[in-house]
Structure 1
Amino acid sequence: MKKKMIPASKSTFSTPWQMHEFFAGSGLVSYGLKEMFHCVWANDISTQKAAVYQANLNLKHFILGDIKDIQGKSLPKAHMSWASFPCQDLSLAGAMGGIHASRSGLVWEWLRILDELKEKPKILLLENVIGLLSTNHGNNYRAIHKAISERGYKCGAIVLNASLFVPQSRPRVFIIAVDKKSHIPSELTGKGPCWLHNSSAIELGNSLPNWIWWKTDRPSKRTVTLKDIVDPTVPFDKDNVLKLIPPKHIEKLNKFDFIYATGYRRTRNGKQQLEIRCDGTAGCLRTPEGGSSKQYLILKNKNEIHARLLTIRETARLMGAPDTYILPGSYNDGYKAMGDAVVMPVAKFIGERFLAKLAEAVY
């Protein structure tokens, strides 16, 4: 695919550290890091996501096109490279083709470009689903860890659930890598696992060379609830799906006089069901492909129960995007842009706790 440059005005952000962003999507990473890192180059293949990125970040160096067409020697210098590579082949809900399959395997293109750079950044960040750590008995992660180590970096994986920051359950793994010759501040590392590591990360960390046990304090307790992201003016127009709620889930709803719940349609034993959660947290947002990929909002108010789909603005709020974040295009465009993104406060947390401090230490 021939790559195209998206025209834009000059970026208004001025920060000391520069970054590349691969698989940039709708821009929530760059938006979350904007006070710490200035993105000087970004790439994605999705026209819909590029439109969202462009509308909010005005980045003149956004390249729309296939990563396979990118040549590393053409990129400007950067202190960090961020890559949220495709997750379909690593997701526990997907085909699990593995790290060498056609979609998740695009991470190897990112590594190729890294090899072609005139000067490699001293900091790398890779983001993906937590299946990266556990699928294929951990060998998908081991392959990436080995490749990063061979390029002169040491790294470690941490797991963060977006539910720490927003009312959405969205666990993700973040691999933070640093040039082996660089000094890492002692406050950022420990001698063993902490709350940032799940069982798969602990097993990998105990067996791999050049592993870093990243550490930081837990964030403050989240105050935003599911109720806070709901637009009360939007009508409930999908009550026809209520008949799909299984009896056990109806029992959960009936324990409350008033509650907002969320749910997805699933097929169980050949029958379609609307499975809901009543814990005040939405399920993980997805891209809109397929009939069961859009999330429903359920309202129970005394004896009445109603249903509708989440609005695009509500999905953006679940991703931590401010209401000023522009979402051009159709409903499906916006849903895809948000459902396939990195939660903005998570990116900001990693930037503040790790990436900015690393940049100050290694440069």
Structure 2
Amino acid sequence: MERDLSQRGAFTFIDLFAGIGGLRLGFEAIGGRCVFTSEWNKFSRETYRANFEDDHPIDGDITKISATDIPAHDVLLAGFPCQPFSIAGVSKKNSLGRSHGFLDETQGTLFFDVVRILSHHRPKAFLLENVKNLLSHDKGNTMRVILHALDELGYAVDHRVIDARAWVPQHRERIFIAGFRRDLPTSFTLNDIRIPDASPRLSSILHPEDGSERPEPPFTEGAKGKVSSRYTLTPRLWEYLQNYAAKHKAAGNGFGFGLFGPDGVARTLSARYYKDGSEILIAQPGGIPRRLTPRECARLMGFDRLGSNRPWTIPVSDTQAYRQFGNAVAAPVAISIAEAMAPWITNKVSLLAGAHRVA
């Protein structure tokens, strides 16, 4: 993702549970300056540092950071941890007889660190992101608690599930929760975001393998930039995935691998992609399919694009890169939301504000 920082400083924001900076890209794109970052995962911090120039360190465990040690800011961003509220996370914790959601002793209460920082600093606005299942977790009680807490803090709140499909060739539904302080009247809603008419396909993110792209070891190699053979599944793994899919199909289940060509639209890239890549396999005519490369994952999440003059830096192993992109916010979605919030954040609302509202 190309980043023009020439207008940085129009407002300030903080980046909590930052991951590799998907939300940050959105608010930098509209002129914001990040003044505080918190991310506990050391590998994500490594990628974050490699891609953003900051005059502040990346702090770790937010539960150990006092709100008084966080700089004043105009906007709070937080992709608070997904696992306690995700279908997979809840299923796993139930099977282990462990609590989840707000009852989880480690991650479930991290939302309240967002609340305590909002309560202390009272920023103009916030944007939170989580998995779609947050809406239905605990029969809707979790979401009701979240919305009630934000309402009690004096924020007018809106939420919407947004599929990144309109921006990138991937079905990726996430819930975004945005709020503005009530003493700063706005008419903002998440329906104000501009949704592109384009329908991108995987061809827009795949290595062309025709010599038009410079080779990038270890992802691609040779004069034509062919994808390295390391990303092709082993015959044994490919046989296993086919047998597994056939077994579940016979049982009437929908489980199985996802096989796509350049005209396809991928399933959701997940943090488990490093295990076998089964949710998004790329067909190779006459051969065994392959995984996406980390560079293709960067493009699939909108952190990068084919032919970029400033590609996203990937300083970590493939395993860590897959985890990071699978947990990330699709950057173009964050940019579109930030653009819709911008007039209210900077107090530059015009008669055109809301003119691009969508149903």
* TM-score, with length taken from structure 2: 0.77
Report the alpha carbon displacement of residue 93 of structure 1 after superposing the two structures with TM.
2.3
Higher alpha-carbon deviation: 316-325 or 288-297: 288-297
Correspondence 1:351 to 2:338: yes
Structure 1 partner of 2:313? 326
Matches for 1:28-107 after TM superposition, within 5 Å: 28-36=22-30, 37-95=32-90, 97-101=100-104, 102-107=106-111
Aligned CA distance change for structure 1 residues 247 and 222 (closer, same or farther; 3 Å): farther
Correspondence 1:337 to 2:351: no
Structure 2 partner of 1:280? 264
User: Which of 11, 22, 29 does residue 17 from structure 1 map onto?
Assistant: 11
Report the alpha carbon displacement of residue 325 of structure 1 after superposing the two structures with TM.
0.9
Aligned CA distance change for structure 1 residues 266 and 113 (closer, same or farther; 3 Å): farther
Aligned CA distance change for structure 1 residues 150 and 137 (closer, same or farther; 3 Å): same
User: Which of 263, 266, 275 does residue 291 from structure 1 map onto?
Assistant: 275
Whichever residue aligns with residue 114 of structure 1, its letter is L
Distance in 1, Cα, partners of 2:72 & 2:195: 32
Report the alpha carbon displacement of residue 35 of structure 1 after superposing the two structures with TM.
2.8
The answer for unaligned runs of 5 or more in structure 2 is 92-99, 210-225, 350-359
Q: For 2:14, what is the secondary structure of its paired residue? A: strand
How many corresponding residue pairs? Answer: 307
Matches for 1:102-113 after TM superposition, within 5 Å: 102-113=106-117
Distance in 2, Cα, partners of 1:85 & 1:55: 22
Whichever residue aligns with residue 141 of structure 1, its letter is M
Structure 2 partner of 1:120? 122
Contact 2:256–2:278 (CA under 8 A) maintained in structure 1: no
Whichever residue aligns with residue 303 of structure 2, its letter is A
Distance in 2, Cα, partners of 1:29 & 1:268: 42
Which whole-Å deviations, capped at 9, do the CAs of 1:31-90 have from their partners, x for residues lacking one? 232132211111100111111111111123243311111111111111110110001011
Distance in 2, Cα, partners of 1:288 & 1:47: 18
Correspondence 1:234 to 2:227: yes
Contact 1:167–1:225 (CA under 8 A) maintained in structure 2: yes
Whichever residue aligns with residue 85 of structure 2, its letter is L
Distance in 2, Cα, partners of 1:50 & 1:266: 39
Runs of 4+ in 1 over 3 A off after TM superposition: 244-250, 265-269, 288-296
Report the alpha carbon displacement of residue 290 of structure 1 after superposing the two structures with TM.
7.5
How big is the alpha-carbon RMSD for the aligned residues of Structure 1 and Structure 2?
A: 3.1
Which whole-Å deviations, capped at 9, do the CAs of 1:305-329 have from their partners, x for residues lacking one? 4212211101101110125111102
Distance in 2, Cα, partners of 1:239 & 1:293: 12
Distance in 2, Cα, partners of 1:165 & 1:151: 33
Q: For 1:285, what is the secondary structure of its paired residue? A: coil
Report the alpha carbon displacement of residue 291 of structure 1 after superposing the two structures with TM.
3.4
The answer for unaligned runs of 5 or more in structure 1 is 1-10, 190-213, 251-264
Report the alpha carbon displacement of residue 295 of structure 1 after superposing the two structures with TM.
4.7
Which structure has the higher relative contact order (CA within 8 Å, separation 6+)?
Answer: 2
Distance in 2, Cα, partners of 1:275 & 1:309: 11
Contact 1:47–1:64 (CA under 8 A) maintained in structure 2: no
Contact 2:302–2:330 (CA under 8 A) maintained in structure 1: yes
Contact 1:242–1:274 (CA under 8 A) maintained in structure 2: no
Aligned CA distance change for structure 1 residues 316 and 267 (closer, same or farther; 3 Å): farther
Whichever residue aligns with residue 71 of structure 1, its letter is S
